[in-house]
């Protein structure tokens, strides 16, 4: 049964409806317009947290040394996903006990950076084979940005505007298929995504055969509600009530559009902004993140452990 849950507890509530002007202008606008929009939209960063990075240095930061994948806590080499348009890299983390269910991790706009790798390591610690593919590879392989400087934010928004969502979903589907066939995977597999990845996790629910999907503060979902009828497997949505990229009108539209979907559970985190679960981020909130993560693990284990 579709459920909308408000606040930090487990109570249920009815939400009012409203119209809305979508934030999707950045995502769906022509690239030239999107670039200008992104420059205005990038929030100011605290320069004491890493300092301003000049453009060449920002690009160099995208090629920072990649931590090794982990297998039962031990390093292992990067893997390559065989996609329809070519091979691309991915970070893989394998739990101590296998075979285990798989989870495809869809990145934020910063690439497969340390945050995404730590998400994979966390999932491996919870008993999942976790794989985060480089979905920016068509633009520039190996992107690894942080949220610590204006230059990196500008680059992240540029990548966001150049990114082909449909191709990205196909890359995630290829990752899903390869993950299911991995010797460490039990064969069941779902997806989890954050920000841009949260949008892609929703699209995995509507366009793939993933066994379940989890979306953290997915952007632009209000523009994708026509696909909601395709959802046949459990979908968990974590939504921030004060998400700067999903205004209240957009959130209400999402809630109304998904109200008839039996496989959808939507939690609203009161007082939280976008990326409240990104450890070390400007809007990180430990209590909200811990609650969302607990709900995610419960859902993943319930849907994939068979």
Measuring CA to CA, which residue among 9, 35, 11, 37 is closest to residue 23? 37
- Running DSSP on this structure, what letter comes out for residue 226? G
Neighbours of 290 (CB within 10 A): 12
- β-strands 129-133, 86-94: how paired? antiparallel
The strand pairing partners of 193, in sequence order, are: 106, 215
With vertex at residue 298, the alpha carbon angle to CA 104 and CA 9, rounded to the nearest 5 degrees, is 120
170 burial class (0-12, 13-18, 19+ CB within 10 angstroms)?
Answer: middle
Distance CA 38, CA 249 (A): 21
Give catalytic status of residue 134 as yes or no. Answer: no
Give catalytic status of residue 238 as yes or no. Answer: no
| Per-residue three-class SS string for 48-89 | CCCCCCCHHHHHHHCCCCCCCEEECCEEECCEEEEECCEEEE
Q: Which one of the listed residues 182, 267, 274, 283 is annotated catalytic? A: 274
- Whether the CB-CB separation of 301 and 103 falls below 8 Å is answered with no
Q: Which one of the listed residues 121, 134, 147, 243 is annotated catalytic? A: 243
Active site residue ranges: 243, 274
């Amino acid at each position: 049964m579709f459920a909308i849950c408000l606040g930090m507890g487990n109570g249920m509530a009815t939400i009012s409806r409203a119209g809305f002007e979508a934030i999707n202008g950045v995502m769906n606008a022509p690239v030239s317009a999107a670039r200008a929009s992104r420059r205005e939209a990038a929030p100011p960063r605290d320069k004491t947290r890493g300092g301003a990075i000049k453009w060449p240095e920002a690009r160099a930061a995208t090629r920072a040394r990649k931590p090794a994948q982990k297998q039962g806590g031990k390093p292992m080499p990067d893997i390559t996903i065989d996609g329809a348009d070519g091979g691309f890299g991915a970070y893989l983390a394998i739990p101590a006990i296998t075979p285990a269910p798989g989870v495809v991790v869809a990145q934020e706009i910063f690439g497969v950076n340390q945050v995404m790798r730590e998400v994979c390591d966390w999932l491996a610690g919870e008993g999942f084979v976790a794989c985060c593919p480089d979905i920016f590879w068509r633009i520039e392989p190996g992107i690894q940005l942080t949220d610590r400087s204006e230059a990196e934010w500008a680059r992240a928004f540029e990548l966001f505007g150049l990114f082909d969502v449909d191709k990205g979903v196909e890359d995630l589907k290829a990752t899903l298929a390869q993950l299911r066939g991995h010797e460490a995977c039990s064969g069941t597999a779902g997806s989890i995504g954050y920000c841009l990845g949260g949008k892609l996790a929703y699209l995995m629910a509507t366009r793939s055969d993933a066994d379940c999907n989890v979306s953290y503060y997915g952007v632009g979902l209000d523009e994708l509600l026509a696909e909601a009828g395709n959802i046949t497997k459990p979908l968990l949505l974590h939504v921030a009530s004060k998400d700067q990229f999903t205004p209240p009108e957009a959130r209400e539209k999402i809630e109304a559009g998904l109200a008839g979907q039996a496989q959808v559970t939507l939690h609203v985190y009161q007082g939280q902004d976008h990326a409240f679960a990104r450890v070390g981020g400007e809007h990180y909130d430990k209590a909200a993140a811990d609650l969302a993560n607990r709900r995610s693990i419960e859902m993943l284990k319930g849907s994939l452990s068979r």
